[in-house]
Structure 1
Amino acid sequence: MMNRLGLITGPVLVGLLYAGGSNLSAVFFATGGITLVGAMVAMLFAEETKGRTLEELSP
């Protein structure tokens, strides 16, 4: 779900930033910042699945 949301809003955000008068480096900094926040959330809250079977992981 969140992946689809990011795939839809990412290009729209880039277009809005660039068309709104921001230079290209601001677009890259915004994209990098969003990526960094996503990586931190995944690092803190994602469940480790290494070494576990699919039966253990499925509800």
Structure 2
Amino acid sequence: MSDDTKQVGSPDRDRINLSEDYEVRYWTGALGVSEEQLREAVAAVGPTAEAVRRHLGK
């Protein structure tokens, strides 16, 4: 299913989608972690960027 361009806001930007390579690249760079660290953090606390940042101490 494609993104609904009529729905704007932050819910999509606030979540880390590990199924998309470009998102994994973005978040590993933005958080300064390896892909493995990112995946472990998401597994531990869920896909919200705020929770992952807290978990990683960022």
State which structure, 1 or 2, has the greater radius of gyration over its C-alpha atoms: 1
Structure with greater contact order relative to length (CA < 8 Å, sep ≥ 6): 2
Give the TM-score, by structure 2 length.
0.33
Which structure has greater helix proportion?
Answer: 1
Give the TM-score, by structure 1 length.
0.33
